[in-house]
């Protein structure tokens, strides 16, 4: 018995030290880069090459308003549909029924007809391509000038590649107007005058993740060749102005300039902002021991754009239960500055969020791909540590009685 008392006393001392340390819920020194003092946090705007980015935006502004300014006639051309590779066309030649049918512009950008030379088609309008075909048929002496009649209709717009850079969540090259997987490629509508709502500026910005809250909605540029068209997104965000968006072609560039500050009015779902976002959640501790028991599934981790940290905490089931046992729970937010991949860690207590729910410095807005982790209350920590102490001491006590 005397021999066993000493290890038991040691075990009790170790257990008591664990109980004392149970109050340390999360590390005291978080990797917040000095942007959070425990009560106030706000994201900043980071750019790898801010001077070069702003200089390029200034150059575009000069292009749009200077010597390369788009004339009224050229501005209309941005809104006219020109053919690109992959467009599906319907051709009809009066008097030559064997040529009637569907044709697709080739990967080389040509319209290939049987026994006739290839016609360059990319960047051409319907009228220009009809004139080329009629001219060639007359040149081959298949028709007289006054009798040749060619009709060409656009049936389906092809998918295109465009570049989106600047103040968007996922800048880079995007593909828009691609065919849905559920729609077979062989199904082609036969109505003349193909139209797609997925080949415009709105679709390109959505494919790039939507504009960030620091985007300058009055300084968005569409660059096509050596011409730049300034675009305002304000009417689109307000729910109008859809008809004023240009139709895009292959190689177009869209540049969204940053204002350098976060505009809370842009943190809401719209046609050019994310309609929803994915947020990573972890609630692996009490009152539930797994995400499944906490009902943290795929649906709960997809939140509307504009949700706050408190909204995410509620979605992760971090709030509720026994008040005295769970009131002191806390949550850690893992986020990033806009335009940066460097992670920032911010801690808030549940009571702090509830008491300051309308203060965005205490209860910040969530951004796409942010993460939260819920931590237990002090009472739950103490209870679990005490349970572990019991499991540690019980075998020793039981052995001492044998």
What pLDDT is recorded for position 2?
Answer: 47
255, 228 Cβ separation under 8 angstroms: no
What's the pTM value of the predicted model, to 2 decimals? 0.77
pLDDT (average), residues 239-249: 71
Window from 18-22, 95-99, 329-333 with minimum mean pLDDT: 18-22
Which CATH superfamily groups domain 50-76+159-261? Outer membrane lipoprotein wza domain like (3.10.560.10)
Report pLDDT for 161: 92
Report which of residues 208 and 156 the model is more confident about: 208
Beta bridge partners of 255: 165, 221
For residue 55, is pLDDT > 80?
no
Query: Average pLDDT over the chain, rounded to whole?
Result: 78
Per residue, the 3-state secondary structure of the chain, as one string, reads CHHHHHHHHHHHHHHHHHHHHHHCCCCCCCCCCCCECCCCECCCECCCCHHHHHHHHHHHHHHHHCCCECCHHHHHHHCCCCCCCCCEEEEEECCCHHHCEEEECCCCCEECCCCCCCEECCCCCHHHHHHHHHHHHHHCCCCCCCCCCEEEEEEECCCEEEEEEECECCCEEEEECCCCCCCCCCCCCCCCCCCCCCCEHHHHHHHCCCECCCEEEEEEEEEECCEEEEECCHHHHCCCCHHHCCECCCCCEEEEEECCCCCHHHCCCCCCCCCEEECEEECCCCCCCCCCCCCCCCCCCEEECCCEHHHHHHHCCCCCCCHHHHCCCEEEEEEECECCCCEEEEEEEHHHHHHCCCCCCCCCECCCCCEEEEECCHHHHHHHHHHHHHHHHHHHHHHHCC
pLDDT at 193 over 60: no
* Residue 266 backbone class (left: φ over 0; alpha: ψ -120 to 50; beta: rest): alpha
Q: Tens digits of per-residue pLDDT, 291-343?
A: 556 656 666 788 999 999 999 998 888 887 666 666 678 899 999 999 888 89
CATH annotation of 82-156:
3.30.1950.10
pLDDT at 1: 44
**Structure confidence at residue 49 as a pLDDT band (50, 70, 90):** very low
> CB within 8 A of 236, min separation 6: which ones?
202, 242, 245, 270, 271, 272
Judged by average pLDDT, the poorest of 74-88, 93-107, 185-199, 357-371 is 185-199
Least reliable range by pLDDT among 94-98, 297-301, 359-363: 297-301
Q: Residue 155: its pLDDT value, please?
A: 84
Residue 33: its pLDDT value, please?
A: 84
Count of C-beta atoms within a 10 Å radius of residue 24:
10
For 253-282, the pLDDT digits (tens) are 999 988 888 999 999 888 889 988 989 888
Alpha-carbon distance 253 to 272, whole Å?
16
- Tell me: pLDDT of 51 over 60: no
Q: Is the pLDDT of residue 401 over 60?
A: no
* Mean pLDDT value of segment 160-174: 92
Split at pLDDT 50, 70, 90, the class of 213 is very high
Parse the chain into domains and list their residue ranges: 1-24+380-402, 26-45+274-376, 50-76+159-261, 82-156
């Amino acid at each position: 018995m005397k021999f066993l008392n000493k290890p038991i006393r040691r075990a009790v001392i170790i257990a008591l030290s664990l109980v004392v340390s149970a109050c340390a819920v999360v590390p005291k020194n978080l990797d917040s880069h000095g942007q959070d003092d425990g009560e106030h946090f706000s994201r900043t705007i980071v750019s790898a090459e801010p001077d070069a980015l702003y200089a390029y935006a200034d150059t575009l502004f000069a292009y749009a308003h200077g010597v390369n300014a788009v004339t009224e006639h050229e501005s209309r051309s941005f809104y006219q549909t020109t053919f690109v590779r992959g467009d599906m066309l319907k051709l009809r030649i009066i008097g030559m029924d064997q040529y009637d049918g569907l044709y697709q512009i080739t990967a080389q950008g040509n319209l290939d007809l049987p026994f006739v030379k290839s016609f360059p088609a990319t960047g051409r309008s319907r009228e220009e391509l009809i004139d080329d075909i009629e001219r060639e048929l007359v040149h081959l002496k298949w028709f007289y000038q006054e009798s040749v009649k060619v009709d060409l209709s656009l049936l389906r717009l092809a998918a295109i590649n465009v570049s989106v850079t600047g103040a968007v969540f996922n800048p880079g090259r995007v593909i828009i107007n691609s065919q849905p997987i559920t729609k077979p490629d062989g199904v082609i509508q036969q109505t003349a005058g193909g139209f797609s709502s997925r080949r415009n500026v709105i679709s390109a910005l959505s494919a790039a993740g939507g504009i960030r809250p620091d985007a300058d909605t009055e300084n968005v540029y569409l660059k096509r060749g050596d011409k730049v068209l300034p675009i305002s997104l304000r009417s689109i965000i307000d729910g109008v102005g859809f008809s004023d968006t240009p139709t895009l072609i292959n190689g177009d560039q869209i540049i969204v300039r940053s204002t350098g500050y976060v505009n809370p009015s842009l943190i809401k779902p719209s046609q050019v902002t994310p309609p929803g976002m994915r947020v990573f959640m972890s609630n692996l501790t009490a009152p539930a021991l797994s995400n499944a028991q906490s009902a943290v599934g795929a649906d709960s981790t997809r939140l509307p754009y504009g949700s706050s940290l408190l909204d995410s905490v509620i979605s992760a089931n971090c709030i509720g239960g026994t008040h005295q046992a769970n009131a002191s729970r806390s949550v850690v937010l893992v986020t990033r500055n806009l335009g940066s991949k460097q992670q920032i860690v911010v801690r808030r207590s549940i009571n702090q969020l509830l008491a300051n729910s309308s203060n965005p410095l205490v209860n910040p807005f969530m951004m796409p791909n942010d993460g939260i982790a819920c931590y237990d209350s002090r009472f739950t920590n103490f209870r679990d540590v005490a349970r572990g102490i019991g499991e540690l001491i019980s075998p020793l006590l039981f052995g001492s009685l044998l």
